[in-house]
A and B are shown apart, each in its own frame.
Chain A
Amino acid sequence: MTTIITPKIKISELNLSIDKQEILKNINVEIPENKITVLLGPSGCGKTTLLKTLNRLTDLYDNVKISGSVILDNEDILHTKSDITKIRQKMGLLSQRPYPLPMSIYGNISYGLKIKGVKKKKILDERVEHYLKEVNLWEEVRERLHHPASALSIGQQQRLCLARGLAVGPEIILADEPTSALDPLSSQAIEEMFLILKKNYTLVLVTHILRQAKRIADYVVFMYLGEVVEQGPAEEFFSSPKMERTKAYLKGAFN
């Protein structure tokens, strides 16, 4: 079953160091389109850093050195001359805990659209409603759209953050342990949403939870100490891992 899938993102020979400390070493990964790719690995192995490299949030670090290439839509985003904000809008980011912007629920969703230049209130209203519906939040918040977003529960906030990311029209969703701060029910809601979203989006998900990975992954990348140890389609990866490290990790030998 070697179906050839078109990669949405192609990472080649990616090396990243901060303050001369090597964090990512020779990463070669092809992230398949309209699939859920899960980044697995013990704490500190570089999952978050790899995710942030994809939308160039690594620009924020002092003293970073990056080499290699990350190709998205025929463009090496690491060495591009085009507007980095446009590239970032191709990717929605969901972080470990929800960080609502310091404004209303409505403001959180319309923020990205306004940045993009959408000004008409009618369009904004319509988009806000649409994306809140898409993450099943509309019914819960329709009466208080102009209340501060920080008043929502953590689970609702996380869905809001997903909606605000979707609102700028990305093709890819990057999620860094998006359920780790959530209760089981809210986690399940997010997982179910991912399974629906993959029809239209390419998802890259970092998780610590092996069971979650098994539930939703299509493709798995296993990292250890800044290197990719093993990668492959989820079924193969979980049923017949090839490397000793992977086997040990899957058995829960280290975490």
Chain B
Amino acid sequence: MLASLILIIILPFFLAAGLYLKSILIINENHLQDLLFSDIWKPAENKFGFAPFIISSLWVSLSAIILAVPVCLLSSIYITQYAKSSVLKLMQPVIDILAGIPSVIFGVWGVLMIVPFSVKAAGWFNIHTTGYNIFSGALVLLVMIIPFILNILIEIFRMIPEELSEASLSLGATKWETIKYILLRKAFPGIVSAFGLGLSRAFGETIAVLMVVGNVIQIPHNIFDPGYPLPALIANNYGEMLSIPKYDSALMLAALILLAVILIFNFASRLLIMRFEKYS
């Protein structure tokens, strides 16, 4: 048991170290600044600017999480605080099923439903698009992370003892005041970590996003522009284009960046949690 514990703890380091060793070739030959912030991606000319991929990834995942916050918060509050307990009994299996659906199915569904919708939605703003864009990617991600986040949030709200609400109500607070000032505050660390996990998941999600996001190497300027997220870059190209020197190494660096960003998200949410935990 101890061995497996140690394995789990050192695994991320092994992962990061492995990726670093593989990508060291490209890191040594290019300025880190160019790698991260340049938008010129011409592997044949030895130009590897990751900015389009990093920014595409941020666009899709942040848009998805921003949309997910109100949806998940309000529905988890409704389910745990207002609805009868039978509603939860009904919802739970549905949420579980949604959470367990393989992402490729969400991808296919996205191509069938979201992509045409995206064309229409862009039309309202007089923007012409193929439908394969950031907006579609974000919506597909949204649908995928909602059940995941909702599950955690419901659990968090259910774990708050009834007596805490009763204490607040008995002081003359209304139900809504109790939710706003007491329950949300109590649940805050949990809420942050739920969305932090959701964000990491969205950032790393590969196949479903890749199918609808367009995969055009450019920095997107609005949500109806196509993009090319990091995981898609790796998945689309790994094992190919070996004729180009250092391409392999570049993809490893992409993976390393992906890992680093997810670690940053994790770290940031942990900091937030620590700040608030002592009061809950």
Say if A and B assemble together. yes
A-side residues, CB < 8 A to B, are 52, 55, 57, 60, 62-63, 85-86, 88-89, 91-93, 95-97, 99, 101-104, 111-112, 115-116, 148, 150-151, 161, 164-165, 168, 174
B173 near A85: Cβ-Cβ < 8 Å? yes
Contacts A/B (CB < 8 Å), 17 sampled = A60-B165, A60-B166, A88-B169, A88-B170, A88-B171, A92-B170, A93-B166, A93-B170, A95-B166, A101-B164, A101-B167, A102-B185, A111-B168, A115-B177, A148-B278, A150-B280, A151-B278
Instruction: Looking at the assembled complex, report how far the CB atom of B168 sits from the nearest CB atom of chain A, in whole angstroms.
Output: 7
Question: Which residues from A are CB-within-8-Å of B169?
Answer: 57, 60, 85, 88
| Chain B minimum-CB-distance residue to A57 | B166
With A91-B170, A104-B279 given, can you name 4 additional A-B contacts, CB distance below 8 Å? A55-B170, A93-B166, A102-B279, A116-B172
* Main SS at interface, chain B: helix
Bound CA–CA A174/B170 (angstroms)? 10
B-side residues, CB < 8 A to A, are 84-85, 161-174, 177, 181-182, 185-186, 278-280
Bound CA–CA A103/B168 (angstroms)? 12
Q: Which 5 residue pairs spanning A and B have beta carbons closest together? A: A112-B171, A89-B172, A93-B170, A102-B280, A102-B186
A99 near B161: Cβ-Cβ < 8 Å? yes
Question: Which residues from B are CB-within-8-Å of A63?
Answer: 84
**Which single member of B84, B161, B171 contacts A111 (CB below 8 Å)?**
B171
Bound CA–CA A85/B174 (angstroms)? 6
Instruction: Looking at the assembled complex, report how far the CB atom of B49 sits from the nearest CB atom of chain A, in whole angstroms.
Output: 46
B84 near A62: Cβ-Cβ < 8 Å? yes
A60 near B162: Cβ-Cβ < 8 Å? yes
Bound CA–CA A103/B184 (angstroms)? 12
Instruction: Looking at the assembled complex, report how far the CB atom of B181 sits from the nearest CB atom of chain A, in whole angstroms.
Output: 7
The residue among B163, B170, B278, B279 with the most chain A CB atoms within 10 A of its own CB is B170
Bound CA–CA A103/B174 (angstroms)? 18
The residue among A55, A60, A104 with the most chain B CB atoms within 10 A of its own CB is A60
Bound CA–CA A189/B236 (angstroms)? 71
Question: Which residues from B are CB-within-8-Å of A112?
Answer: 171-173
Instruction: Looking at the assembled complex, report how far the CB atom of A203 sits from the nearest CB atom of chain B, in whole angstroms.
Output: 15
Question: Which residues from A are CB-within-8-Å of B182?
Answer: 101-102
Instruction: Looking at the assembled complex, report how far the CB atom of B18 sits from the nearest CB atom of chain A, in whole angstroms.
Output: 42
Question: Which residues from A are CB-within-8-Å of B181?
Answer: 111
Question: Which residues from B are CB-within-8-Å of A111?
Answer: 168, 171, 173, 181
Question: Which residues from B are CB-within-8-Å of A86?
Answer: 172
A103 near B185: Cβ-Cβ < 8 Å? yes
| Chain B minimum-CB-distance residue to A92 | B170
Bound CA–CA A89/B169 (angstroms)? 9
| Chain A minimum-CB-distance residue to B165 | A60
Bound CA–CA A55/B172 (angstroms)? 10
Question: Which residues from A are CB-within-8-Å of B167?
Answer: 93, 95, 99, 101, 161
Bound CA–CA A52/B162 (angstroms)? 13
Question: Which residues from A are CB-within-8-Å of B161?
Answer: 99
Task: Take A102-B280, A103-B279, A148-B278 as given contacts and tell me if A115 and B163 are in contact as well, using a CB distance cutoff of 8 Å.
Answer: no
